[in-house]
Amino acid sequence: MKEDDRHEYESLLIRQLEKFRAVKGISQREMSLSLGQSAGYIAKLTSGHNLPSMIAFFWICDYFHIHPSDFFNEEIAGNPALIDSIVKGLYKLSDDQLNYILALVQDLSKKS
């Protein structure tokens, strides 16, 4: 299938899958086998020959320790599991604490 023929979310799935796999530093084969699939499973997904079933997509998200809703967020870089842990911790903070964290994040973003 040509890339032009793909739905935009299919292309996004392929980009995100490759990004998270690269961050984790694992081969397509290793990931395929870890998911209990054939050795070429991830290669077929990233080439656009196949799409994962919903349950396989959830397994992929579990593998990367990322919530399915975050999988398609292209702004997530680096360690999605760490980001998820931080976000979950934010829910427990007071407004004053959240404002402090916001100021800290804004300051750190300026220095990047």
Q: Are 44 and 72 in contact (CB under 8 A)?
A: no
Token code pair at residue 93: 């903070």
Read off the pTM. Answer: 0.72
Model confidence pLDDT, tens digit, residues 12-59:
999 999 999 998 899 999 999 999 999 999 999 999 999 999 999 999
Quote the CA–CA distance of 22 and 4 in Å, as a whole number: 24
What DSSP string runs through 11-69?
A: HHHHHHHHHHHHHHT--HHHHHHHTTS-TTHHHHHHTTS----HHHHHHHHHHHT--HH
